[in-house]
A and B are shown apart, each in its own frame.
Chain A
Amino acid sequence: MNGVYEVRMHGRAGQGAKSGSQLLAEAAFREGKYIQSFPEYGSERRGAPTVSYTKITDTILKSHEPIVNPDVVMVLDFGIMRSIDVAAGLRESGILIVNTKVCSPEIKKLANFNGPLYGVDATGISMELLGMDTPNVPMLGALLKLTSIVSMESLEIVIREHFLPKIGEEKVQKNIEMLRRGYQEVFE
């Protein structure tokens, strides 16, 4: 790996951008990478725009600055693109993954981004399997399909570690299914 691989997640407080960013970092950490994962905190209130960062690299990370030129931007909430410039600084070679039912030219226009755009119906998957809108895990599934930045196995282990004490085996299984569905159902 050359340099630092940087993923930025935009969402709304309560959608799991922070834990999504942390799950990704911990999966990479399991694979022997150096990582950093941190959210940008505003005033903490449900529904407010949030952003979370994940850095993955082979050498120790000294910098504590936020991500300016991400390799990947993930948008957990479609509507947020109307108020936030989600693709700001996104590298030419970078990719944009949006929680949406359809990928249309309008999204590129809304995001002000000409590079590769991918969609996944993360809310739909989450509503179907969990009955609530937690798009972070299906979005991570889509990321795995598109980048192979970490393995499915590592992410499944980390999801189990994180969620088992909190929500029990049944919902862990559902989360892993959400991860796989996101992986399978990401589209251009």
Chain B
Amino acid sequence: MGVMKAITGAEAAAEAMRQINPDVVVAYPITPQTPIVEQFAKFVANGVVDTEMVPVESEHSAMSATVGAEAAGARAMSATSSQGLALMWEIVAATPGLRLPVVMSLVNRTLSAPLNIHCDHSDVMGVTTLGWIQIFSENAQEVYENLPLAVRVAEDPRIQLPAMVNQDGFITSHAVEPVEIFEDDAIRRYVGVRSMERALLDLNHVETIGAMVLPDYLLEVKRAQEEAMSHVFEVYTEAGRELTAITGHAYPFFETYKTEDAEAVIVVLNSAAGTAKVAVDAMRAKGKKVGVLKPILFRPFPYAAVREALRKVPVVGVLDRSMDFGAYAPVYSEIRNVLYDVDQRPATQSYIYGLGGRDIMSTELESVFDELLGGTVDPEHQRYVGLRE
């Protein structure tokens, strides 16, 4: 049993970082991520962590310094949102190829323009092709637990890839909720100390990180990166099992809520999945069999397991909090891919919701369920929840 604290999602991330006690943290403030590094800076100032916190002048420098520290052999972390992620994109893209297990909190906020500080997933969906492990969190509790889990998965010798832990800007990052905080010692033992294998500062085993690779070998390097990514499933499961021993919570690739006998299922990420569960309960009280599937591990994407979970569902609605203009929305694309290999494919419908922090209400999700159950789906055209025409 841990201790219950009433804290925000941002504070939950900072608590996890305090317990992880990374060697180096480099970040630049940006709304709504700021309270994470603000809180962590207090831990540094008060001497409760041993971390070297590096103040920098931009996110590009933040990720550059994080990568430099990680290459040296440090356990380095960062945090950002939206435009901050956009500015550090160049280095974010380089990190997986350098095989550096950086762990970063991403507090999801819409990408400008129009300028808006609120939640959607357009920031993360712009980087899912870069080779980071992507983990999503419904609430502050999941944020807190996903961070140490991410450290273990990222740093595993079979993986050596960076990981991003996502939470919804403001909705999660600025909402106070009860969070169960486990013992410092238990979490510190769980994350352990980063191995100096491959560290530049291991002078007995001198090596190069970031060498130029010409056409003769680049394909092989990328193939090896994909091989590492494919091991994430087993490592995530193992690391999750060890974390369960501390927390009592399970760490599946995705969560299903009342999907077993469901005649319609909504697939949705992060905080809206919680609201969707409330909609499911309301629908079930009216005798309508519906459920929710919440992806947690988004990269790598667990295609086979999601396929099994959705195989017998007659109709699946996929809610995306970002768009891919002129193409299927990101989560919808994955679910379409998942279902291709099913003999009797479920009908599907894509929905766009919650852009730029637009509220998503459980009653709106009930309407989505009604539409799915009514069978009037149009898989080729996305619909918009709460759009004013």
Contact = CB atoms under 8 A, between A and B. Distances in A.
Q: Size band of the A side of the interface? A: 10 to 19
B302 interface: no
B175 interface: yes
Interface in A67-124: 68
Contacts of A22: 176
A188 B184 CA distance: 50
Contact of B274 (A25, A39, A43, A62): A62
B118 A41 contact: yes
Given A35-B178, A36-B175, A63 B278 contact: yes
B122 interface: no
Interface residues of B, number: 24
A20 to B, nearest CB: 12
A14 interface: no
Interface in A36-51: 36-39, 41, 43
Given A25-B176, A64-B275, A35 B360 contact: no
A61 interface: yes
B174 interface: yes
Given A22-B176, A38-B170, A43 B6 contact: no
Contact of B361 (A26, A35, A68): A68
Name which of A39, A43, A64 has the most chain B CB atoms within 10 A of its CB.
A64
Contacts, number: 57
A41 B362 contact: no
Contacts of B227: none
Given A62-B275, A64-B272, A36 B177 contact: yes
A43 B116 CA distance: 9
A131 B69 CA distance: 49
A5 interface: no
Interface string B33-72: 0000000000000000000000000000000000000000
A64 B117 contact: no
B175 A63 contact: no
B281 to A, nearest CB: 8
The listed residue with most A CB atoms (<10 A of its CB), out of B168, B171, B177, B277, is B177
Interface string B268-292: 0001101101100000000000000
19 contacts: A22-B176, A25-B176, A26-B6, A26-B176, A36-B177, A38-B174, A38-B175, A41-B118, A61-B177, A62-B277, A62-B278, A63-B278, A64-B172, A64-B272, A65-B278, A65-B360, A65-B361, A66-B359, A68-B361
Given A37-B176, A41-B117, 7 more contacts: A29-B4, A29-B6, A34-B178, A35-B177, A62-B278, A63-B275, A65-B362
Please name the 9 residue pairs, one residue from A and one from B, whose CB atoms are nearest each other, closest first.
A38-B175, A62-B274, A37-B176, A64-B271, A63-B278, A29-B6, A63-B275, A62-B277, A26-B6
Interface of A: 22, 25-26, 29, 34-39, 41, 43, 61-66, 68
